[in-house]
Structure 1
C-alpha cells in the first residue's frame, strides 16, 4: 500500500509539470532576424532556408525552401510580405552593396503549464507563484514575471498568465555565405570638375557592422606632383581611426589643387585593403557666386530608436553664411553637426568647403514606413542669397511601438561590490536583487524614479526615462550607514536543565556600518534571584558588558543564565538588548528560557508484610517522597486485593508533591470471615504525570483460636474411629 501511495505522489508531481492539452492555443509572432541578405548568403531558420536571386527582369526575389522543396517565391518590392508555415517574411529596400533588407517573424506556439512551487519545467524551477507574479530560477539566474507579462531567456520566451506558465520556443537562426563584410566604405565620387587653386572636400562614410570595434588604416596610393591631400576627422588629420562596433564615422578627403594648373589627374587611396579613386578635371575658367551642396547618401534603412547620420558637403566660391533647418516628423529629433559640435549656421570663406553631418534620432515608437527629411540651406553673402533644399529618405523597417521597456539594474556599494537582496521599486513593481546585485524589470515606456533600499545602507534613487522596447542599463550605488549592526542568535529558545551545568547561549553581532563601533550588552526580564552573565568564549568566567566590532566584521558573545535555587520548570521570557554606543540604536531579541526539571518519585511502604486474622482489619502507611527538583503532579494510589477483601486508601491522591516534599496515605486492609489461612498479595500502584511505581504487600491470614481447638478435637475423634474399625476387621 505504501509503495502505491509513493508512486501516486510521484506521478501527480510529474503530471503537474506537463503541458495542458485541449486548453487555449497560444501563438506569438517574434522577430528572429532583421538585416541585409546578399545573393551569396543563405538564411537558415530551423527547416526553412531563405535566399535571394535575381529574375530575368533584373529584380531581386526571395526564395523560401523547406525540406528540399520551394515553398514560396516573392518579388522583393519594398513592403512586400509573404507567409508560409511558421514564417512571415517582409521586404525592405535593396542596396547593391549591402543586399536586400528583410525582416523575418516566427510564429511561436506556446505550451501552457500548470505550475506550483517546486515544479520543474524545461530546466526552470518555480520558486514562488501567486496570481500576480511568478518567480523562476535557471542555474544562478532568477527571473520575476508579472501576470500578463513575458521575458526572453536564451531560446525561450516565458509568459505568465496569472494562472499558468506559457513557454514559447524560438528557432535556431544562422546565416551562411561565401563572404561576410564587416567594414563598408561609401565614396560615390568618380569624376569631378574643379579650377586651379581649389580646395576640394570629399566625405567618406565608413561603417563597422561587426560585433567588435576595429581600427581602419588610411593610405594614399597616388597623388599628383605638387598637389596635397589628407584625411580629416573632425578637422584633425588622421592616418588610422578606431570605429566602435555597429557604428559609422564620416571622414573628409581634402585635396589642394595648385594655382596655374589645368588638366585631368587621379587621386587614389586605400581604406584597409579597399582601393578607391576619383578623377579631377581642372579647368581654367573661374566660378563666381556659386555655392554647391553635395551628398553621398540619399536614403537609409533603420530600426526605430537608432541614430542616423547623412553627410552633407557645402562648397562655396564666395564668402557666405549658411543656416541649416531640418524638417522631421513629430517626435523625432534632428540637429546638424560640424566637427562634432551642434550648429545651426556655418561661415564659409571664398573657395571654402565644409562637411556637415545631419543627425536624426528616431523614436523607438516610430511607425513603419518611408519618411522624407527635408534639409533647407539658407545661403546669404555679399549681394548674394540663395535657398537650397536637400531631401533625405529614411525607411523604418522595424519598430518597438507599444512594447515594454526593460531596465537592467545593477546595485553596488561604494567599493564596487554587488549588493544582493536589495529592494528595488520602480512604479508599482518591486523586486529584490540577486546574488550579483542585479534586477531586471519590464515596464511601460515613460519617466520613472528607481528607489533602492537595504538594511544597513542609505536609501538611494535615480530618475530614468525609457522608450518603447528600450533595454537600458542602470547602475546605482548604495552607501553604507556609518553605524549599523545586526544581531543573530542560534535559536529563540535557551534550554536549561535544573541542577546541572549548562552550555551558554550563542549571540553573534555583525557590524554592517562603515565605522568601528562598541556595543553594550544587557538582559531584561530576569525573575527575582536569577542571574545572567555575558562572556567572550563559552568556557570563560570573565564577565563582559560591552564588546567592540570592526566594520564588516562579526563577533560572538555568550550568555549564561543562572536560575534561582527554588525556580520551577517552565518557560520564562527574557529580552537580550544590544545597544550601539556610537549611535544609540538598539536591537532587542526576545528569547524563551525553557527550564527542564528532574523527577525522582520514591514510594515507601511502612510494612511490606502484614499478619492478620480472618475477619479483622489492619492498617499501614504509604509514603510518596519527591527527591527531584521539579514538582510531581496528579499523584494517585491504586490498590488491587483478593475478591471479597475490603481495602481503603485515605487519601488516595494528591494534586502535586513539591520538590523535597512528601505525601503520606493510610492503607486499611480487612480480611473477610472464613478466609482460609495462608499468604496473600495486595498490589499497590502509584502513578503521576511524570513517573509510576508498583509493588506488592504480603498479607498472612490466620484463623481464630476456638476454631483451631474444634478442628483438633475432630481430628482426634476421627483418629479413634479409624483404630476401632481396624480392630474389628482384624477379629474377623
Structure 2
C-alpha cells in the first residue's frame, strides 16, 4: 500500500556550488525490509543558502504507515537540524538511515515512524536444521537493538508452512512481545512444530522482530544416520488401564550428537485435561543435561481423567527436537461417578484425633463437611474438581489444606495431617443437655471437661440465665452434697462434674433454659442446658369396705370412690372393669366418667351377684379403674355363707305349729 505525506520544511543548506536543476530525487536503498524514495523540491544553489520549500516521501511497504523526515547536514563538522517550524527541533525514533550525497556534502535522511519498527537485527547461530515429519525444532534467537533507547517489539511470523505451529517462547511461557534494552541484546526461543503429513523437502520460515527479519530453513528428511542423533527409547509405548489412572513410561535418552547437550522436555500433543509430567523418580523436571555418548533415564507420567472415554488415545512428548508418541488404552470409564477424599488427623505425638471437623471448599464456597472417627480417619465423597479444606478441632490451631484434585471414581489420599495443640484449650461436653423431670425433682447434668491444652489449667464454674429463686451447685459426684466453684485439670486429663439445678417448690409446668459457664485461663466455654418439668398423674381409690359376706342368691353392693390426686392434669374417660369368676355378674353405675379435674372425685356403685349354684366359699373380685392416662385396681373379698339346717327345721316346726293352731282355732272356735 502506498502512503504519501507532504509537509512544509524550511531548511537552510550551506553548499558551495551554483544552482542545480530541481527536483532531485534519491532512491533509498532497501534496509531492514523497508524500501522507498525521497524527493527534494525547490531551487538548490550550491554557492548560497537556498530554501527547500517542501518534500515528499513514498514507501512501497505497509509496515510504515506515517512519518516525517529529519535531515542532518554535515558542514565541516557542524551539524544543523531543522524540521517543522523554524528553529524548533522535533525528536523522532528512527528505523531507517540512508546515506545520500549532494555534491561534496553528506546528507543523512532518517525516516521516523512507528517505534516498533526501528533499527533491529535478528541473529541465529544455526538458521538451518534437519528434521523428520512431526518433529519439533527449537531455535535460539538473539534480538539486537542498535539504537540508544530501549524498546518493546512485536514478535511476528511473516512466512511459514501451512499447518505448522510456530511460537516464540521463553522458558515454559509463550510470548508475542519482547523488550530489548538500549544498544542491548535479548534472547528468545522459537519453536517450530511440524506435522506428520509434511513432505520431504526444504521449507523457509521468515520471522520479524520490529524492523528486523530472519529466514530459517527446515529440511524434512526421511531418517537420520545413527551418528549425530538423539535416541529416545522406551520398552513399552502402549499401556492399558482405567480412566483416572496414572500411567508411567520409563524413557531413556541417549546423546549421539557428538557434543554435550541440554534438552527441553515438553508435551506436544495430549487429550484435553490430561496431565503429562516428566520425573526423575523424586521430583518433576523440565530440562535434562546429557553428556555426549551417554544416556539418562527418566519417567514420563501421564495422568488421565476419570471421565475419559473407552478407547485408545495418544500422547506425544518431546526431548529437545526429538518426539515420541505414547499410547494409552482406556478399558473402563468412571464418567459421572464421584471421587473419594481420605485423610488421617493426628496430634503432635502421632495419636489419632477423634471429632476433628473437616470443611471442604470450592472457590471459597463450603460444599461438604465431615468428622474424623475414633481412629482419626475421614472419608468423603466429592464430585470431580479442585478443592481446598480446613480442619479444626477444639484445643488445636486450624489447619488449612492446599489445593487438591478429586478424580471421578478414584481415591485422593491427603495422608496424615498433624494438628498443633494450643497452650490453653479445653473441650466441654454435656451428656444430656435437655432433661425432662417430674415436679419436685432436681435435674442433674453430667459435664465432661477435657484439658486439650499443653498446660495444666484451673476451670472456674458458673451459671447464667437461671430463673429467679432457683439455685444450683456443681459437685464432683452424684452422691456428694458438697458444692465446688472450680476444678483443676492436668494437660490431657478429663474430669466429669455434675451440675444440680434446685428449683423452688411451686413452679409452672413448662420448659426452662439456662447456660453452664466453664472459664479457663484464656477462654470461656458456654453450654446451653434446658429442663422441662412435668406433672404426675395419680389416681386414688377408696372403698368403705374391702370384704363382704353374702348368702347364695343375694346381691352385694360395693361403693368405690375414684379421686384425681395428681398434678399433671385431668383424668379422662374413666371407667371400671370387673374381674370375677365365671357366672358372676356386675353392674356399674355410672358406667363411664368423661373427666376428673385435679382434686375432683367420683363414686362408682358396683352391684355383684354370684351364680345360683355357687359353692359357699371366699371369692376375689377385682375392680380395675382405667383412664386415658393411667389405671389402678382394687381387690375385694366376697364370702358366700352356707344356710344352717337347724334353722330350716325350726322354720318347719314354727310353720307346723302355726298350721295346727289355725286348725284348732277353726275347729273348736271360742269356748
TM over 0.5: no
**Bigger radius of gyration among the two:** 2
TM-score (normalised: structure 2): 0.39
TM-score (norm 1): 0.36
